[in-house]
Chains A and B, each alone.
Chain A
Amino acid sequence: MPQLIIDGRVLEVEPGKTIIEAAFENGITIPHFCWHPALSPDGNCRMCLVTVGAHKKDSDGALLYGDDGNPEVSWFPKKQIACATPVTDGMIVDSISKETVETQNAVMEFLLINHPLDCPICDEAGQCKLQEYALVHSKGKSRFDEEKVAKDKRVQLGPNIIFDGERCISCSRCIRFADEVAKQPVLTFVGRGDKVTITTFPDTTFDSPYSMNVIDICPVGALTSMDFRFKARVWEMSFTDSVCPGCARGCNISIGVMNNEVLRTEPVTNMHVNNYWMCDHGRLAVPTIVNNNRTSGPMIRRDGVLESVTWDEAIAATVERLKSFKPQEITILGSSLASNEDNYLLAKLAKEQLQTSNIDYIQHLSHDFGDDMLRVNETAPNAIGAHTAGIAVGTNGHGVAKLVDRIKHGDVKVLVVLEDSLDDFSDELAEASAGVEALIVLTSHTNLTAKQASILLPTTVFAETEGTFTNIHHRVQHFSPAVVTKDNERLMTMKQSRWDKFGAPNDRWSSGEKRDARPAWKIIQALCVGLGANYAFGSSGDVFNDMAHHLSGFKDMSYPSLKKHQGLILGKGNSPEKEEEVYQSHVMKPA
């Protein structure tokens, strides 16, 4: 393997790597704009210029060292771009000497010549590579006295993306993403010199299901999201790591919240799940799932209408109904939309407290959602998890397939539904469910089933609680709460954005709704306790530890280890993948 020295550190790297890759793998960051580890090197921005040389040898071929013991180097006369220069054995690279940095500064000056003074109105500001490097590599004064070139500032490249020609530094990351990753080669440069700009080919539009990733990888604010444009500045939001519930891939994401409302979703690099990307569907679905159409406050149906009640009343009423029927008259539906913890306790309720074997969940399968990149046909995040946590039809039990017939025969008196809307299975089932004596619904959304409920117990969504999903490749992944509910309020204070954290009741800016919803496991635990169990789980973590103790799949797992390794595979809790440097194009620098 070639051995080289970068900034005095001796590194051994695989042949064929470029200097910037070798440096990155070893924790050295060389300034760059156009290089992205997932894209082919293009070498157009010149920000990564470094000084490269070779160790001097004498006429016998022996390496020469100076008096100070350092190697004597014959430097190449011209600087080389680190992103497109392959490493060779014995190479010596310098990226930090005064001379090299001055070269990088000069490149920066060129890049800034025509760059507009847009930071105050630019969505990228605060997480912009150009700003970041301008701080280190620029004098803060322009020597350019002439007029800056004016370009189109609002070009629609696709249904979700707006392009600002002036801010673009022509790094071609977006073009290469469209060509190589999204496989929709519709973007191109047009024009020459300082007039160069990006456009779509005639009669095309950039509408790939992954198009919005270019917004993240654009090193500047040239590409903005139609969905998010101007909604908030990055420093006004809190960002929380989470898992996309859009499909069973479980892309790692970061959720941006302000005023207790989800405003933005971004992919988080996880090389074992989603690489650097996520799909547009997931990105746009997350704010909708969390913000819209939510249930809040428990309700009981009296004389045909749902009335608000206290939690204690609702729990007591539910317990009473569960007690008044025989085990085989009760059917329990877990959910592939709910977390492992929720399903685990629901399975315990069914098996240990109610002793019913009629337990199942509704599958969410699509025929055309999946593709050969990230999206999979299983459109609920946690089917594997629900099954592993114990949601499976028991011996002599009946599943969801026969449910309609059984309801019609009067065999089902109580139906407990977690998260799902029964019309997702079939309209027939939704209709039939009106015929059971008690329809107990634990759900986060006011769906059809919630409207039919006899007792409605509002649950939190993934973004309001801590928990885990198990993705289609059996990877258990951890998510943290990003949004405040009445239930988690005390735990959330320090995690909120500056605005939400310090808002007082008389401040109009801290008016975001805090929903009266509880994690499903907490509600189910209360039901179990009402039925005589002695569970005392204080947090999702306690439930998870119990799972790790009792279910072989989750053995040796814990929240800290899941977080540390970006998820662990079922049954392999003690053999995580090797940890590697993770490239994140879009980082919000700590204030």
Chain B
Amino acid sequence: MANVKTNTEAQRLTFWERIYLPEIARGMGLTFKQMLQPTFTRQYPEERWEPEGSYRGRPVLVLEDGKERCVACGLCSRVCPALAIEVRAAETTDDKERYPEKFEINMLRCIYCGFCEEVCPEEAIVMSKDYELVFGSQEEGILGKEKLLVPVAQLRDRLEFLRQWK
């Protein structure tokens, strides 16, 4: 360390820089200039942002004809790197044979990777545009079927995006 020259802040600054005043004036100049530029700030939450179909918000289940598309194959739950999904299957009388008796996503575990959506053979779980996730307790962060099921009409953008790019 002996041959390293000391290079403190004070030594690097010039005299004018060290007395600050011109620098303050320069800073204020920049601020005033920006005040006259067009604004980009969004007045959230009054003004909400609508994401594109490519956005990966909270994963939801597709509700079609009053039923879930999900057949409870458990692949999302297997692929989920965060172990956020629990699926329990049961038998139905209709052609699909099985449905998820219980489907829970623990949003405190979910990392929004979208693997569940990618692996789903039925296009039954997709990433929604929903990014507003606040929970008052750990229990509340575990979403059951009633919170997960979203009518297919509201998910058109994402399904369109998947058809095109998946």
Report which A residues bind B (CB closer than 8 A): 117, 119-121, 125, 153-154, 229-231, 233, 235-236, 498-499, 502-503, 506-509
Contacts and interface: CB of A to CB of B under 8 A. Distances in A.
- Please list the 8 inter-chain residue pairs (A to B) with the smallest Cβ-Cβ separation, ordered nearest first: A120-B73, A509-B86, A230-B89, A233-B74, A120-B121, A506-B138, A121-B71, A121-B98
25 contacts: A119-B73, A120-B121, A121-B98, A125-B73, A153-B97, A229-B91, A230-B72, A230-B90, A230-B98, A231-B89, A235-B78, A236-B74, A236-B77, A236-B78, A498-B83, A499-B83, A502-B83, A506-B106, A506-B139, A507-B83, A508-B86, A508-B104, A508-B142, A509-B86, A509-B104
B96 interface: yes
Contacts of B72: 121, 230
A68 to B, nearest CB: 48
B130 interface: no
Given A230-B89, A230-B90, A506-B138, A121 B104 contact: no
A503 B82 CA distance: 11
B142 A121 contact: no
B23 interface: no
A502 B82 CA distance: 10
A378 B63 CA distance: 55
Q: Which of A117, A119, A121, A233 has the most chain B CB atoms inside 10 A of its CB?
A: A121
Interface of B: 71-75, 77-78, 83, 86, 89-91, 96-98, 104, 106, 108-109, 121-122, 138-139, 142
A502 B85 CA distance: 13
Given A235-B78, A508-B104, A120 B122 contact: yes
Contacts of A509: 86, 104
A67 to B, nearest CB: 53
Contacts of A235: 78
A139 B73 CA distance: 24
Contacts of B139: 506
Contact of B73 (A153, A233, A502): A233
Contacts of B86: 507-509
A17 B109 CA distance: 56
Q: Which of A117, A153, A499, A507 has the most chain B CB atoms inside 10 A of its CB?
A: A507
Contacts of A503: 83
Nearest to A164: B97
A121 B96 contact: yes
A233 B77 CA distance: 11
Contacts of B96: 121
Contacts of B98: 121, 230
B106 A120 contact: no
B119 to A, nearest CB: 10
Contacts of A231: 89
A506 B109 CA distance: 11
A450 to B, nearest CB: 32
B65 to A, nearest CB: 18
Given A230-B90, A502-B83, A506-B138, A121 B75 contact: no
Nearest to A122: B73
B91 A230 contact: yes
A121 B71 CA distance: 7
B90 A121 contact: no
B106 A507 contact: yes
Contacts of A236: 74, 77-78
Given A230-B98, A233-B78, A120 B71 contact: yes
Given A121-B96, A231-B89, A502-B83, 7 more contacts: A121-B97, A121-B98, A230-B72, A233-B73, A233-B78, A506-B138, A508-B86
A231 B77 CA distance: 15
B99 to A, nearest CB: 10
Contacts of B138: 506
A236 B122 CA distance: 20
A502 B81 CA distance: 11
A331 B54 CA distance: 76
Nearest to B137: A506
Q: Which of B75, B83, B98 has the most chain A CB atoms inside 10 A of its CB?
A: B83
A508 to B, nearest CB: 6
Nearest to A233: B74
Nearest to B71: A121
A120 B73 CA distance: 5
